[in-house]
Amino acid sequence: MKAELNSHKDQKISTIGIVGGGKVGLQLLQLFTSNSLTRLLYIVDKDPQAPAISAAQKQNLAVYTDLSEAVQTTPVDYVFEVTGSARVAEILHQHLDCSQTQIITHDMAYILIKTIDENHQKTSGMVLNDILSIKKEIESSLEAMQRTLEGIKQTTSDLRYLSLNARIEAARAGEHGRGFDVVAQQVDSSAQSVRDMTAEISQVNANIAAVLEQIEASLQKLN
């Protein structure tokens, strides 16, 4: 485990620049700012209101509206060109062909994002299916438990009814029925205790069902 941790520390952190502040640029921003092996240094877009520009400003990342200024001011290991503009690609090559910076084209960036999205959806779908399968099993168990609880409730109801009749008969028997009356009272008390426990178990079952619904709703948001 220690050697594994050291290997992570030795890995080089790659610096990134993104050219294009649209949807793909925003997706790349979210990807690289959550990755421990990359450091996003800037985003460029001629539109200062572009989605990725706004998001970058909220995270205090450098933003530029001038491409030439960005690549000359802030050297990076990789530049992701996600505008698809031939003119933008030309400017990048003019400034970076003699540098160590690698240019990731619009098509390659799109393939990267698409692959990540598909893998994310596939993984989310698998997790959701597993959770739904578990949910069905738990629901089936809860239904069986509920049927058992209903049977217990009916039995305790019958016991309380018999206890009441026994106490009436004990009262009629007078002194000879006093001992039987004590037993009848204990049966009634035990039946009430069982009823209270079944009510608590029913509430626990309801809570479990509610939690399962919350988990399913949360997983649906991943799709």
* pLDDT over 80 at 188, yes or no: no
Does 2-104 match 122-220 in CATH topology? no
Query: In 34-105, which residue ranges form alpha helices assigned H by DSSP?
Result: 51-58, 67-73, 86-96
Q: How far apart are CA 156 and CA 183, in angstroms?
A: 15
Which is more confidently placed, 192 or 39?
39
Q: Where are the domains of the chain?
A: 2-104, 122-220
Q: Is the pLDDT of residue 137 over 60?
A: yes
Architecture of the CATH domain 122-220 = Orthogonal Bundle (1.10)
The pLDDT of residue 43 is above 90: yes
Contacts of 164 (CB under 8 A, 6+ apart): 184, 188
Kindly tell me if the per-residue pLDDT of 4 is higher than 50. Answer: no
pLDDT tens for each residue of 30-42: 888 888 888 999 9
Q: Is the pLDDT of residue 84 over 70?
A: yes
State which amino acid sits at residue 14. Answer: S
Q: Is the pLDDT of residue 1 over 50?
A: no
**Furthest C-alpha separation in the chain:** 113
Superfamily of chain region 2-104 = NAD(P)-binding Rossmann-like Domain (3.40.50.720)
Give the mean model confidence (pLDDT) for residues 143-147. 79
Q: Each residue of 196-222: pLDDT tens digit?
A: 777 777 787 788 878 777 777 776 665
CA distance 123 to 75: 36
Average confidence (pLDDT) over 92-118: 83
Q: Which residues contact 142 (CB under 8 A, 6 or more apart)?
A: 205, 208, 209
